[in-house]
A and B are shown apart, each in its own frame.
Chain A
Amino acid sequence: MNSSVITFPGSNCDRDMDVALKKFGFKNKMVWHDDLELPKSDFVVLPGGFSYGDYLRCGSMASKSKIMKSVYNFAKGGGKVMGICNGFQILVEAGLLPGVLLRNKYLEFICKNIFVKVNNKDNSFFKDIKKNTLELHIAHNEGNYFCSKEQIEEINDNNQIALFYSDKSGNVNKENNPNGSINNIAGIFNKEKNILGMMPHPERMIDPALSGEDGSIFFENLINNLR
């Protein structure tokens, strides 16, 4: 299973993602933002970080990088693409996913463990995951997902919500919304469900010595589904 992680200037979770993908059996390549062509890939990841310093708007400048044309074509051709945190922001800016990510409600960076409820398992990212909630980790300043009323209807109609912020037992409510996201949305798909963007970092939860292990469940399941 060949994966590619794109490094933009200012990416800082690219190595962590590389470590995670390799741990679960991917043959991963790091791809420089200035390259024109993706190497042969079954899976492309836009990692977290502060691409271009988050200047202008998070993800905005990275979405215009040279490599993004190739990523765009790969995604539009049905290729599996995932954006984590800043990668999610880039996917949104590139027009591959609907909506925008605003500053967190309390205008503070948040770094902590959270729970997410898996909303849609009918896709290669979450198919066969037995748990209904996962404990993952967030670390962001702009994770407050927002979109128009029409868009949210469309997202709901197409079952595009991947993850909701929730409590441990999967209750989705205001108390468990860390950043003010509309409807507690933590991650979404495109209509075809081959593109996933999410704020939580599964790559930080792949070892019992770290914050937790639910990231391992995610990656193990992912590589099995992509095979």
Chain B
Amino acid sequence: MVVNEQIAIDHGLKKNEYKKICDLLERVPNITELGIFSAMWNEHCSYKSSRFHLKNLPTKGKNVIQGPGENAGVIDIGDEDAIVFKIESHNHPSFIEPYQGAATGVGGIMRDIFTMGARPIANLNSIHFGSPQNKKTKNLLRGVVRGIGGYGNCMGVPTIAGQTSFDESYNGNILVNAMTLGLVKKDKIFYSKAAGLGKPVIYVGSKTGRDGIHGASMASASFDDKIEEKKPTVQVGDPFTEKLLLEACLELMAGDSIIAIQDMGAAGLTSSSIEMASKGNLGIEINLNMVPCRESKMTPYEIMLSESQERMLIVLESGKEDLAKKIFDKWNLDFAVIGKTTKSKKIELYFDKAKVADIPINILVENSPMYERKWKKSKLPKKLKNKKEQFKNLKIINVLNKVLSNPNVCSKEWIWQQYDHTVMGDTIQKPGGDAGVVRIHGTSKAVAASVDSSAVYCWAHPLSGGKQIVCESWRNLISVGAKPIAITNCLNFGSPENQENMGEFVECVQGLGEASLYLDFPVVSGNVSFYNQTKDIGIKPTPTIGGVGLILNYKNMVTMDLKETENILLVIGKTEGHLDQSIFSRDVLNEKNGPPPEINLFNEKNNGETILKLIDSKFIKAAHDVSMGGIITALSKMCIKGKKGATLKKSNYLINQFEYLFGEDQGRYIIEINKDSLQDVAQILSENSVHFDELGTVSDDNLIIDDKSKVSIDDLIKSHTTWLTNYMNK
């Protein structure tokens, strides 16, 4: 087949990009080469629209061992230990085929982690679906949850936390973001940089099939009416093989045979081989006849573009082939020497003794397109004047029950009960808390992790929204007693070619960067997913943040469940009653306009650090951050978890009761302390200039808000826990 412009366009390349390829090569590429270019230059692999903005994110810090640019980020957690972690999207495949799409998303992110020599110790996920009324939502949710469980459970890695949301903007484009944390010794981290000439290039894992061809290109395009035709671009996962691959790789990594290793993820053999060569400033030569294939008569084009799962590419020390082969034989995995490193600085492919591709690596990598897309700045919407008369007809308890059973607030136990969250025997905080916590096996240390996103805030004002999610992640870690260390981000947006969507991206990233710089909470890894839209309508901007923090002594971990009657409840941080974009405004008043709550980074940092001081001094019995649904929602969840009641103090605040109870001002927490320690705690808070209010006391059985508003904890539990189960079993 002779390549021409139309074929290039069919591969997702733009006219000018095709011209650039011909100019750089000084000839027309053949079809295999064109396939390689389309794989390397699509949005998913090249970050061509996002690179320009991502470079401004803070990525360094005293605990950062490896920032973005490798398979995952790495942070120092003291002693000899390091945590490797990353979040990644698998949105498009999951919409087309929810089970396999989600499953291979989980498989892919776990491979990124153990490629670096780390044993995965925890999984998290952030999943977003269309409106519950949308006829596809239920099946997509069921399929995604089964897929995530099907893969993670089989791998024997606990899924310790997550986030699920529903919003009509995802009706035609759901989001599935999967995150994994792995544990590694600092001196046993593996990288993808090849080194040395004539070193054997090894293929291990599953055989290559025709599944997933052009997966990465599909992920870089918008959906239209023909999505069903794209099913064959979704990969098929085999968690059993990945479990074997994990064990085999870790066994080989215990020795000193590996120079570089890279998993075959998006764009399979193409991107893995090119990345390793590029990082090592070397060439690579591959004999495609040596690649283990699942199907007969696969062409070089298909072999290079297949996204079959559970495969790895390794550059080995010369002479270690037999030793390595023995390990992979033991685990019943394919092992093949398929090529070698060269000094040519080119990728050279051979098939049936003929050269089928010959491309200088720098053309593919350094010369890949980069766009400074046009973007539109968002204005901060005007604050709405609350119409107090609207409140008059509302009863607090009714509103509270409505908020607690809102699909975005209600308990997600139906979901996380399908994930094994206790395997490996170190999960000390299960899903349903502020953050999941796992112990570092055999030590007193533990790591906490949380995933967060606030698409509504980001949609209302991207800059504030971007800041807010970083702060929320920070608060979730603080709430369990962890010192926040670093984040990973998964940036889910509409089309970068649309100025509004691009503007949302640019300003969210800016906000995210400002907050993470201020909080010293750097970004160490991440992933960008554009073109999350159907036809021309983009999703609400949904940057997802995965935060990781450290607890030095796991016995000091804090949970949110109320502990003891008569203990005192404090609200940390100032309550001003911001209702615009709150769940109360949107779902009770049906008001979708107005700005999101303001972020004060000084207060965030100061409040959080002071809470950690209180935790260190063992004053805090329970803690929970105040987020969606405000103080009363946060408190209700603490009651539900602890099966305890609470009695609020008679109000002496100046704002309206609904504003006080449901306002979503940021930087706040509710803490439970012993009544004898009130004076000491108050003193520490004052010394650190932290605003606090006395909210009330812990009691039995009922939540008592005022003389007229009282509800039993059993009723709260019912409101909180029934919606999702009923919805799924209807």
Contact = CB atoms under 8 A, between A and B. Distances in A.
- Same complex for A and B? Answer yes
Interface of A: 9-10, 12-13, 15-16, 19-20, 34, 48-50, 52-55, 108-112, 137, 139, 141, 201, 203-204, 206-207, 209-211
Interface stretch (B214-222, B337-345, B414-422, B453-461): B414-422
B420 A109 contact: yes
Interface in B196-252: 238-241, 243-244
Contacts of B416: 111
Nearest to A55: B240
Q: Point out which of A48, A49, A111, A211 has the most chain B C-beta atoms below 10 A from its C-beta.
A: A111
B555 A109 contact: no
Interface in B375-421: 416-421
Contact of A209 (B153, B420, B423, B439): B439
Contact of B239 (A53, A141, A203, A204): A53
Contact of A112 (B149, B241, B417, B439): B417
A207 B422 CA distance: 12
Contacts of B430: 211
A19 B425 contact: yes
B47 to A, nearest CB: 35
Q: Point out which of B154, B422, B554 has the most chain A C-beta atoms below 10 A from its C-beta.
A: B422
A137 B240 contact: no
Contacts, number: 88
Contacts of A15: 424-425
14 contacts: A10-B243, A12-B423, A15-B425, A48-B423, A53-B154, A53-B241, A54-B154, A55-B240, A108-B146, A109-B146, A109-B418, A204-B423, A209-B439, A210-B425
A111 B417 contact: yes
A12 B240 contact: no
Given A49-B156, A209-B439, 5 more contacts: A10-B244, A53-B154, A109-B149, A111-B419, A137-B422
B428 interface: yes
B331 interface: yes
Given A206-B425, A209-B428, A12 B439 contact: no
Q: Point out which of B244, B332, B416, B420 has the most chain A C-beta atoms below 10 A from its C-beta.
A: B420
A139 B419 CA distance: 8
B71 interface: no
A13 B423 contact: yes
B86 to A, nearest CB: 22
B554 A9 contact: no
Given A53-B238, A110-B418, A111-B417, A139 B427 contact: no
Interface string B622-660: 000000000000000000000000000000000000000
Q: Chain B: interface secondary structure? A: mixed
B243 A12 contact: yes
Contacts of B554: 209
Contact of B555 (A10, A55, A112, A209): A209
Interface string B421-454: 1111111101000000001000000000000000
B713 interface: no
B240 A53 contact: yes
A139 B153 contact: yes
A199 to B, nearest CB: 13
Contact of B422 (A53, A139, A141): A139
Interface string B237-271: 01111011000000000000000000000000000
A16 B240 contact: no
B716 interface: no
B155 interface: yes
Contacts of A49: 156
A139 B424 CA distance: 12
Contacts of B149: 109
B167 to A, nearest CB: 25
B541 to A, nearest CB: 33
A58 B150 CA distance: 14
Given A111-B417, A111-B421, A206-B425, A9 B332 contact: yes
A9 B425 contact: no
Contacts of A53: 154, 238-241, 243
B419 A16 contact: no
Given A9-B332, A111-B417, A210 B153 contact: no
B240 A10 contact: yes
Q: Which 7 A-B pairs rank lowest in CB-CB distance, beginning with the nearest? A: A12-B156, A53-B240, A16-B425, A50-B154, A139-B420, A109-B418, A209-B428
A179 to B, nearest CB: 12
A50 B240 contact: yes
A204 B422 contact: yes
A204 B425 CA distance: 5
Contact of A9 (B150, B331, B427): B331
Contacts of B154: 10, 12, 50, 53-54
B332 to A, nearest CB: 7
B6 to A, nearest CB: 43
Contacts of B423: 12-13, 16, 48, 139, 204
B209 to A, nearest CB: 17
A53 to B, nearest CB: 3
Nearest to A52: B240
Nearest to B159: A111
Given A12-B243, A209-B439, A210-B425, A111 B555 contact: no
B393 to A, nearest CB: 40
A55 B238 CA distance: 10
Nearest to A178: B417
Interface in B522-553: none
A203 B417 contact: no
